Amino acid sequence: MIRCVEFEESVADSVLSSALGAYPNEAILLLRGKVEREVIRVNDVLIPPLATQGRGFSDFRGIMLPMDLKVVGVAHSHPSGALRPSTHDLNHFYGRIMVITAYPFQSYNDIGVFNSHGERLRHEVVPDQNAQRDDHFIQ
């Protein structure tokens, strides 16, 4: 059972900016990461091949994807502002988590994470694991 989902900061920023850039259409992204015990750490996003995006819908053909065991779920936007999955969303669940970003796509509070039953999961935004750190230098 997943206890928490961690998004690297650059991933959370990419999900929000993708949603804002597609507005008023929906945006859709694949989420890549790793599962360690009860925590999923999302560290990359991809635009799915053959994705379609429009007003009130976004989709991709999962059967057309190359085998990628690092895909942990899908993120898509809700321009309507609804921060919960629809029945259609749940019927087309792909991976272990579903991320929804809701209008106005301005903060991490506009991101919701859900399991395949539509239950909200705890999530947090963490520093990028591979970010270059300069705090070890003495000035």
For residues 23 and 54, is the Cβ–Cβ distance under 8 A? no
Q: Residue 44: is it exposed, middle or buried by C-beta count within 10 angstroms (0-12/13-18/19+)?
A: middle
Spatial separation of the C-alpha atoms in residues 76 and 17, rounded to whole Å: 12
- Strands of 13-103 (E only): list them: 28-36, 39-46, 52-54, 57-59, 71-78, 97-102
75: tokens are: 């993120």
Q: Which of 8, 9, 26, 124 is catalytic?
A: 26
Residue 9 falls in the annotated catalytic set:
no
Angstrom CA distances, 39 to 15, 22, 86, 126, stand at 19, 29, 25, 13
Helix (H, G, I), strand (E, B) or coil at 76: strand
Which positions are annotated as active-site residues? 26
